[in-house]
């Protein structure tokens, strides 16, 4: 395996990249930290930390409302992130990019605004069997309110959606298909372009949950022809509490505001309020300015490394990790899709994921254990929970070796 490990290291200078992430330079229980939980939240490079610090130290002011210098500076820095997001997602215009708290809010915005206006009794919304709770519950709430029906695209044993079944679900009552570009629990990369094309042929709109795709692959909302696409900043090495919702201009213009307040209005009287233009119509109140500026730095950071290089490196790491874990007797990978992002979800015979997580933690290894906010996925695979190692470009083959060694230790404790 040492051959493989030297191969992976040539795509990126990972040792240099690791210097950018201060959190990685620490020991946990006297062992070097091995952070394998980036699908929960990714670590932050100095570039992001410094941008947020600089805002608070030098430029801090509210945005879109002051004529003074600081307000001009903070407004420019915040709005600059929208321009960077346009490049990151390849949208036509920056006006179709709405700042939200994260993917969850992006989905809720569409469900509340577009959904309440357009979904009627008897309509159908399609989601998939591998959705995160955040792409299930908002639609469930909407369906309950409107007496509409939620339909679910099933998946196979590998954790791949069955497109023939999806095709059958599309019908004249279908209004929207909402699905994850990449599954957080399984790592499956769904064929988003094809799924959107199938929906459009049936005259149906699409929302793509891009939370887990954005850290790992190039996103192009125009090539995908997605109607809505939403991402979280903290999964792409930015801060928490900030994300982006992309929507096609025509759709966003026709949608009512999501929340009322300052910044989203043009004029207000007690008789009538007129709303602001896109994107501000959907951005009520003082936003997460520092977070927005930090997200801009994260876009730049990923751009500088190169998303294609990131994807290629992580793919090698995934293959290496898959091979390493498959050698452990009694370990079963959950999610073995042919197209997969750098997520290794697994169960071990007779050992509960929580116990695995605790023993690994004592060796400095951070993994996620539990249902990963995707209980229907767990039910489908008949497991109560899994252990999930999720990788980023700052992880190394040596860290995969540490995980494999850690799992041997787990087996010793519980043998």
Q: Just list the catalytic residues.
A: 373
Instruction: Please give the full DSSP string across 184-235, using - where no structure is assigned.
Output: TTT-BB--HHHHHHHHHHTT-EEEEE-TTTTTTS---HHHHT-SEEEEEGGG
352 counts as binding another protein under rule CB under 8 A: yes
Dist. CA 164–CA 160, nearest whole Å: 12
From 79, 165, 220, 355, residue interacting with another protein (rule: CB under 8 A): 355
β-bridge pairing 124-128 and 273-275: unpaired
Q: Which of 214, 342, 378, 391 forms a contact with another protein (CB under 8 A)?
A: 378
Contact 45, 292 (CB under 8 A): no
Backbone region of residue 305 per phi and psi (left: phi > 0; alpha: psi in -120 to 50; beta: other values): alpha
User: CA 2 from chain center: how many Å?
Assistant: 32
Least distance in angstroms from the C-beta of 383 to another protein: 9
Q: Looking at 238, 353, 402, 411, which residue binds another protein (CB under 8 A)?
A: 353
Over the window 277 to 296, marking each residue x when it contacts another protein by CB under 8 A and - when it does not, the resulting string is --------------------
Closest approach of another protein to the CB of residue 126, in Å: 26
Q: How far is CA 348 from CA 331, 335, 386, in A?
A: 4, 14, 9
Residue 256 dihedral angles phi and psi, to the nearest 5°: -75, 160
Q: Is 371 in the site for another protein (CB under 8 A)?
A: yes
Q: Which is nearer to another protein, 182 or 374 (CB)?
A: 374
Least Å distance, CB 31 to another protein, is 12
Q: Near another protein by CB under 8 A, which window of 1-9, 128-136, 307-315, 366-374?
A: 366-374
Q: Which stretch binds another protein (CB under 8 A): 78-86, 203-211, 304-312, 344-352?
A: 344-352
- Least Cβ distance, residue 409 to another protein (angstroms): 8
Nearer to another protein, 205 or 389 (CB): 389
Among 369, 390, 395, 396, binds another protein (CB under 8 A): 369
In whole angstroms, the minimum distance from the beta carbon of 29 to another protein comes to 9
Residues 393, 17: contact at Cβ < 8 Å?
yes
Nearer to another protein, 36 or 297 (CB): 36
CA distances from 121 to 178, 227, 237, 256, 258 (A): 19, 22, 41, 20, 21
Do the bridges between strand 31-32 and strand 343-348 make them parallel or antiparallel, or are there none, so unpaired?
unpaired
Nearest to 303 by CA among 51, 96, 87, 41: 87
Query: Does residue 362 touch another protein according to CB under 8 A?
Result: yes
Q: Are 43 and 237 in contact (CB under 8 A)?
A: yes
Q: Which stretch binds another protein (CB under 8 A): 132-140, 196-204, 351-359, 394-402?
A: 351-359
The window from 8-16, 145-153, 191-199, 369-377 that contacts another protein (CB under 8 A) reads 369-377
| Binder among 284, 370, 380, 401 for another protein (CB under 8 A) | 370
Q: Total binding residues for another protein by CB under 8 A?
A: 18
Stretch that binds another protein, among 125-133, 158-166, 259-267, 345-353 (CB under 8 A): 345-353
- Whether cis (ω within 30° of 0) applies to the bond prior to 41 is no
Residue 352 beta carbon to another protein: minimum distance, rounded to whole angstroms: 4
Q: Which residues contact 102 (CB under 8 A, 6 or more apart)?
A: 211, 232, 233, 234, 240, 241, 242, 243
Among residues 26, 330, 384, 405, the one that binds another protein under rule CB under 8 A: 384
Task: Determine if 354 is a binding residue for another protein (CB under 8 A).
Answer: yes
Task: Rule CB under 8 A: choose which of 189, 359, 391, 402 binds another protein.
Answer: 359
Cα distances from 376 to residues 164, 188, 364, 385, in angstroms, run 21, 15, 30, 11
Residues that bind another protein (CB under 8 A): 350-355, 358-359, 362, 369-371, 375, 378, 384-385, 413-414
């Amino acid at each position: 395996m040492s051959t493989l490990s030297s191969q992976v290291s040539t795509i990126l200078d990972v040792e240099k990249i690791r210097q950018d992430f201060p959190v990685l330079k620490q020991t946990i229980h006297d062992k070097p930290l091995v952070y394998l939980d980036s699908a929960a939240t990714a670590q932050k490079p100095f570039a992001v930390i410094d941008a947020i610090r600089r805002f608070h130290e030098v430029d801090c002011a509210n945005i879109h409302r002051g004529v003074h210098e600081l307000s001009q500076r903070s407004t420019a820095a915040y709005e600059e992130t929208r321009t960077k997001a346009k490049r990151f997602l390849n949208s036509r215009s920056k006006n179709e990019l709405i700042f939200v708290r994260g993917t969850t809010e992006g989905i809720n915005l569409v469900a509340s605004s577009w959904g309440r206006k357009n979904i009627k009794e008897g309509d159908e919304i399609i989601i998939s069997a591998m959705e995160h709770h955040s792409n299930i519950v908002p639609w469930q709430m909407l369906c309950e309110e409107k007496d509409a029906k939620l339909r679910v695209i099933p998946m196979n044993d590998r954790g791949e959606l069955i497109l023939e079944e999806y095709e059958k679900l599309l019908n004249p009552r279908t209004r929207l298909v909402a699905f994850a570009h990449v599954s957080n629990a399984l790592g499956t990369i769904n064929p988003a372009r094809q799924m959107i094309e199938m929906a459009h042929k049936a005259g149906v709109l699409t929302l793509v949950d891009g939370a887990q795709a954005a850290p790992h692959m190039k996103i192009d909302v125009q090539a995908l022809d997605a109607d809505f696409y939403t991402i979280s900043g903290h999964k792409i090495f930015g801060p928490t509490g900030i994300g982006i919702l992309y929507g096609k201009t025509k759709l966003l213009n026709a949608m009512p505001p999501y929340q009322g307040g300052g910044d989203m209005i043009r004029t207000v009287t007690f008789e009538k309020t007129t709303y602001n233009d896109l994107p501000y119509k959907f951005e009520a109140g003082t936003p997460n300015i520092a977070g927005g500026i930090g997200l801009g730095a994260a876009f730049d950071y990923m751009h500088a490394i190169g998303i294609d290089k990131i994807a290629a490196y992580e793919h090698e790491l995934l293959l290496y990790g898959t091979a390493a874990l498959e050698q452990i007797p009694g370990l079963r990978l959950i999610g073995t899709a042919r197209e997969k992002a750098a997520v290794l979800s697994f169960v071990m015979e007779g050992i509960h994921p929580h116990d695995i997580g605790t023993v690994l933690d004592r060796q400095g290894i951070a993994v996620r254990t539990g249902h990963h906010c995707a209980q229907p996925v767990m039910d489908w695979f008949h497991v109560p929970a899994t252990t999930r190692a999720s990788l980023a470009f700052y992880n190394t083959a040596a860290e995969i070796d540490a995980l494999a060694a850690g799992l041997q230790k787990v087996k010793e404790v519980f043998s």
